[in-house]
Homo-oligomer: A and B are copies of this chain.
Amino acid sequence: MMRADARRNRDHLVAAATDVIAEEGPEASLNEIARRAGVGPGTLYRHFPTRESLLTTVFRTRIEALCARAGDLAAKLPPGEALTAWLHELLAHAVTDRGLGATMMLTEQESGFDCSALMAAAASGLLAGAGEAGSVRRDLTVDDLFQLVHGISLAAGDLGRGDRLLTLTLEGLRAA
């Protein structure tokens, strides 16, 4: 059980981090986040020993929602289309919430939330379905998908460019 003031400080930190990261991106100053939350930097480090543990907490609900979408899409689209649609949604998140792309692949987790396992479970269902339907190469792995989408999100200037690069990747650069 957390002491009441600690609980309140933690909540303030997450709220402040959400705001500051939205404004300045995932490399935002930790001291600035602590300042905005009205606590000292030591308090931030006590609750979140690494920057990643803070980012994971901030992005957690968004990542869970995205993983839930995998099931929705699988239920209402043919397997190949479901995978394609989900990858575009993943890309949209990675481009919009800069830093979420790197966060989603983190393998060691604090706060009992194994982000990469959740993401892998969501993606592998879609990937297996699309593979069995003959829509995608059988040798594709979940890591291939995540790294390709992550790379595109980092290199593309905006979502329009990102969607084009993802489409090119899906279809291949070679002539049909």
Which A residues lie at the B interface, using CB under 8 A?
80, 134-138, 140, 144-145, 147-148, 150-156, 161, 164-165, 168-176
Please tell me if the beta carbons of B170 and A173 are within 8 angstroms of each other in the complex. yes
Copies held by the complex:
2
Please tell me if the beta carbons of B170 and A148 are within 8 angstroms of each other in the complex. no
- How close is A171's CB to chain B, nearest CB, in angstroms? 5
Bound CA span A124–B137, Å: 30
Partner of A165, one of B136, B147, B154, B174: B147
Please tell me if the beta carbons of A155 and B150 are within 8 angstroms of each other in the complex. yes
- How close is A173's CB to chain B, nearest CB, in angstroms? 5
Using A151-B155, A154-B151, A154-B155 as known contacts, say yes or no to A174 and B137 having CB atoms under 8 A apart.
yes
Bound CA span A103–B76, Å: 44
9 additional A-B residue pairs with CB within 8 Å, beyond A136-B173, A136-B174: A80-B174, A137-B174, A140-B168, A148-B155, A148-B169, A150-B151, A151-B153, A168-B169, A172-B173
Bound CA span A132–B144, Å: 30
Bound CA span A168–B155, Å: 17
- How close is A94's CB to chain B, nearest CB, in angstroms? 10
